[in-house]
A and B are shown apart, each in its own frame.
Chain A
């Protein structure tokens, strides 16, 4: 068979070539497949957790394996907000503003004990869990978490995104704050922020 001569027509070859170029799936699965593999993180690093975040992004643990090659230092081009470190009340309006500036679809990871619950800082100056300020998708325990912990949280988030449905408009609803500037009822914030562990031995008047 000469090189410049077309191959003999073969029906079975044509059929198999055509079928290998067709993929049947649901649109939401295709979109979610794309979203899970191109999460651009917005690092909001305030404390030692940010050091672990940097280690996660560096070559040994290599965040880029998860499609997080590009760190978005602008909230306008970010998909997932990673709050790495404690959040004082002074920064509460800042993280709220950054969250509002991020376009949909967006997710949030609360990295470490302080961001998730206030941690050891059960004081007048510290937000007791960033879920009183912004909605959070995945919490990472640890003080600080190891890079593996953050990677596991990212994989969990990818799993969560893979299960989302495009028809579910509730997922993409902006958390609109009420006239009092809160998106949660005050009683819910008090409940989320109440002391636990060793903190219960403190009294409010002490």
Chain B
């Protein structure tokens, strides 16, 4: 069963929720309605004829044409069937950019959804830990890969330098991330105090 067959099966099962099916460079691309996307992706993962067990990537596309919606792309792979499928959701830029997280379907969605949030500002509902992953957490200039983002950023270089130097590099990782939560009692008092303050630098 190829990608095109998966698209036909989706069309048969979900009908109007599948808004467009097309092919580009040999890849099958399926546009689905955002409200039913999670349900459709869950079916693609679990249905015995589909078995898309591997989430290759989640990313977004922002087009130069400001009328065009922002697209969230899910690149799926069935390791067992050696088949690929790309699922796209279109998000109206006038509305809040929100989709359901697929972290509950593929655990690997954790970081790629954080990256999409970091770069495009798409909020993934139900994500366990949605915060920036590439840019530092106090980065206040917006979402860099949006087409309306100026290449050099929104602030002056002096302001960017000031904000970057305001970050405390030692507090960059929380102690939960470092996996030392269980050793809390063994930590020195000054380290405990620093972690308790949750220093992350300051903005403004």
Give the distance in Å from the alpha carbon of A182 to the alpha carbon of B37 in the complex.
48
Contact A182 B161, beta carbon cutoff 8 Å: yes
Tell me which residues across on chain B come within 8 A of A206, comparing CB atoms: 150-151
Tell me which residues across on chain B come within 8 A of A189, comparing CB atoms: 157-158, 161
B156 interface contact, C-beta 8 A: yes
Listed stretches A19-27, A71-79, A127-135; interface member:
A127-135
Tell me which residues across on chain A come within 8 A of B151, comparing CB atoms: 122-124, 202, 206
Give the distance in Å from the alpha carbon of A128 to the alpha carbon of B167 in the complex.
18
Contact B157 A190, beta carbon cutoff 8 Å: yes
Give the distance in Å from the alpha carbon of A132 to the alpha carbon of B159 in the complex.
12
B126 interface contact, C-beta 8 A: no
- The one of B150, B152, B166 in contact with A181, judged by C-beta atoms closer than 8 angstroms, is B166
Listed stretches A53-61, A89-97, A145-153; interface member:
A89-97
With A90-B136, A124-B152 known to touch, is A182 a contact of B157 (CB < 8 Å)? no
With A123-B151, A202-B152 known to touch, is A181 a contact of B158 (CB < 8 Å)? no
Chain A residue with Cβ nearest B157: A193
- The one of A90, A127, A194, A203 in contact with B161, judged by C-beta atoms closer than 8 angstroms, is A127
Q: Looking at chain B, what size class is its interface with the partner chain? A: 20 to 34
- The one of B153, B158, B167, B168 in contact with A190, judged by C-beta atoms closer than 8 angstroms, is B158
With A93-B169, A181-B162, A206-B150 known to touch, is A125 a contact of B144 (CB < 8 Å)? yes
Contact A92 B165, beta carbon cutoff 8 Å: yes
Chain A residue with Cβ nearest B147: A206
Tell me which residues across on chain A come within 8 A of B162, comparing CB atoms: 180-182, 186
Contact A133 B168, beta carbon cutoff 8 Å: no
B160 interface contact, C-beta 8 A: yes
Give the distance in Å from the alpha carbon of A205 to the alpha carbon of B157 in the complex.
15
B184 interface contact, C-beta 8 A: no
Q: A177-190 interface mask toward B, CB cutoff 8 Å, 1 = contact, 0 = none?
A: 10011100011011
Give the distance in Å from the alpha carbon of A125 to the alpha carbon of B150 in the complex.
12
Tell me which residues across on chain A come within 8 A of B164, comparing CB atoms: 89-90, 92-93, 127
CB distance from A38 to the nearest CB of B (A): 29
CB distance from A88 to the nearest CB of B (A): 9
B203 interface contact, C-beta 8 A: no
A204 interface contact, C-beta 8 A: yes
- The one of B141, B149, B161 in contact with A132, judged by C-beta atoms closer than 8 angstroms, is B161
CB distance from B177 to the nearest CB of A (A): 16
Give the distance in Å from the alpha carbon of A133 to the alpha carbon of B162 in the complex.
10
Tell me which residues across on chain B come within 8 A of A195, comparing CB atoms: 152
Give the distance in Å from the alpha carbon of A90 to the alpha carbon of B152 in the complex.
15
Contact B158 A186, beta carbon cutoff 8 Å: yes
Tell me which residues across on chain B come within 8 A of A182, comparing CB atoms: 158, 161-162, 165
Tell me which residues across on chain A come within 8 A of B180, comparing CB atoms: none
Give the distance in Å from the alpha carbon of A194 to the alpha carbon of B158 in the complex.
10
Tell me which residues across on chain A come within 8 A of B163, comparing CB atoms: 89
Tell me which residues across on chain B come within 8 A of A204, comparing CB atoms: 150, 152
Tell me which residues across on chain B come within 8 A of A94, comparing CB atoms: 169
CB distance from A93 to the nearest CB of B (A): 5
Chain B residue with Cβ nearest A92: B164
Tell me which residues across on chain A come within 8 A of B181, comparing CB atoms: none
4 closest Cβ contacts across the A-B interface? A124-B153, A186-B158, A193-B157, A89-B164
What are 9 A-B contacts with C-beta separation under 8 Å?
A90-B135, A90-B167, A93-B165, A96-B165, A177-B165, A180-B162, A187-B158, A190-B157, A206-B151
